[in-house]
Structure 1
Amino acid sequence: MAGLFANDSEQIDRRTSRSICDAVGERLQQSLRPEPRLPTHLEQLLDELKQRDRDSH
């Protein structure tokens, strides 16, 4: 791993490094966005099923 930093001409400045980190972070946020919520009607039906399940126990 030390060989990666042996040549100073290959190092990047702080500003470029920050830009790269920001770009990677933005892409990760886009890729890892949470799933959209279910439509209200489906959520209500699921809630009703959960309630019936609790009532049956």
Structure 2
Amino acid sequence: MTGLFANDSEQIDRRTSRSICDAVGERLQQRLRPDPRLPTHLEQLLDELKKRDREGGAH
């Protein structure tokens, strides 16, 4: 990382840096959205929990 700040003329101000970080973050959130579906095994476990709740699983 030492080469990153070797030339002072290439530094950017805090506001510009923040804008770049925000834009990159937004794009990453859009592209890396999690799959809304759960893996089959987790779906089965949740179904089992719901079933137990309906059957009066409260202790």
Q: What is the TM-score with the length of structure 1 in the denominator? A: 0.56
- Superposition CA RMSD, Å: 2.3
Which runs of at least 4 in structure 1 moved beyond 6 Å after TM superposition? none
**Identity among equivalent pairs (%):** 90
Give the TM-score normalised by structure 2. 0.54
Unaligned runs of 5+ residues in structure 1 are 38-42, 52-57
Q: Residue by residue, what CA displacement relative to the aligned partner does 1:24-55 show, whole Å, maximum 9, x if unpaired?
A: 10001001112245xxxxx8xxx5xxx8xxxx
Pick the structure with more helix per residue. 1
> Any unmatched runs of 5+ in structure 2?
38-42, 52-59
